[in-house]
Amino acid sequence: MDGTPTLSAAELPPEQERDAAPSSGAYRPGYELVAEQILQLIAELRLVPGDRMPTENELAGRLGTSRTVVREAVKILSAIGRVSAQKGRGLFVADDEGMLGSSRWGGFFLPTDLDHVYMLFEFRRVQETAASRLAATRATPTELRAIESAAQLCRDGHRTGQIALFDRGDDEFHLGIAAASHNPFLVASVREARRLQRQSSTIGLHGTVGGHAEGAVAEHDAIYLAIRDGDPEAAAQATAVHLDNTLEDYRREIQRRVFG
């Protein structure tokens, strides 16, 4: 990740909105960028669940884009539980009642709040070390193959420079371990925490954070091998190391952006 600023949908001519992409070259539809801008606007306006949002027309004017693009962005935000589109009433900040939704956090989750990023990693460390420990004693052969395949996806994504492939493998790897714990509460908490982490990375840091991909591939291998070998403590320790190193990557990137 080179930190080079990318053009927002508001800065692109209409014909290029749907093909907006970050400097890494990864495809970024215009409505996805506008969805991020809407989340940022919610944070800037200090809106909380239940508050009325600007209309689609007002959002289009504020963001310098078309109402059609705004409408597609609102569909995305509605699907992930961040916006509620109420027929005849308008748009509202959604009261997301997911396990880690806004009511559990005591307010709207601000992805630009770095304290929340650190707390989120702290939470992930607790949940995912427990999931890895249980997976080492409960994983079925099918679940082990799924975890191994996800680790291979990450490796292929890193080797070929395909960030989207790496991210997909990373998601499947961590969720696969949670599934192998055979504990639905851990599955739900891991899924929700990763969703919030993606939001914090996208909105707060504008993309996948940095130079840890190669290390993450090796760390995934260590976690998988410990689970495959049925060693709960080694699996938990390898998971803790992986998450600590990932958090350190966030810290370095934040420091680089703040202090140059």
Read off the pLDDT of residues 81-96 as tens digits, 9 standing for 90 and up.
Answer: 788 888 888 999 986 5
pLDDT score, position 176? 95
Output the CA torsion sign for 10, 11, 13, 19: negative
Please, how many CA atoms are within 13 Å of residue 137, restricted to the half-sphere of its CB? 8
Q: Which part of the chain has CATH 1.10.10.10? A: 9-93
DSSP state of 112: T
Comparing 16 with 159, the larger pLDDT belongs to 159
Mean pLDDT of 204-211: 47
| Confidence bin at 260 (pLDDT 50/70/90) | low
Percent above pLDDT 70 for the chain: 73
For 9-93, give the CATH class. Answer: mainly alpha
Q: For the residues 191-195, what does the mean pLDDT come to?
A: 84
DSSP calls for 161-181: T-HHHHHHHHHHHHHHHHHHT
Residues 226-248: tens digit of each pLDDT: 999 999 999 999 999 999 998 88
| pTM attached to this predicted model | 0.59
Q: What is the dihedral of CA 33, 34, 38, 39, to 10 degrees?
A: -20
Kind and range of the H or E run holding 238? helix 232-259
More confident residue, 104 or 122: 122
> What are 102-111's contacts with CB under 8 Å, separation 24+?
102/48, 102/49, 103/49, 107/48, 108/42, 108/43, 108/47, 108/48, 108/49, 109/196, 109/199, 110/43, 111/39, 111/43, 111/196, 111/199, 111/200, 111/202, 111/203, 111/204
Top mean-pLDDT range of 22-31, 32-41, 93-102, 120-129: 120-129
Report pLDDT for 181. Answer: 95
CATH number of 110-259: 1.20.120.530
Other beta carbons less than 10 A from residue 160's beta carbon:
10
Q: What is the structure's pLDDT at 255?
A: 67
Q: Are 232 and 137 in contact (CB under 8 A)?
A: yes
pLDDT of residue 235: 98
Residues of the chain with CATH 1.20.120.530: 110-259
Q: What is the pLDDT of residue 148?
A: 97
- Mean pLDDT throughout 190-195? 85
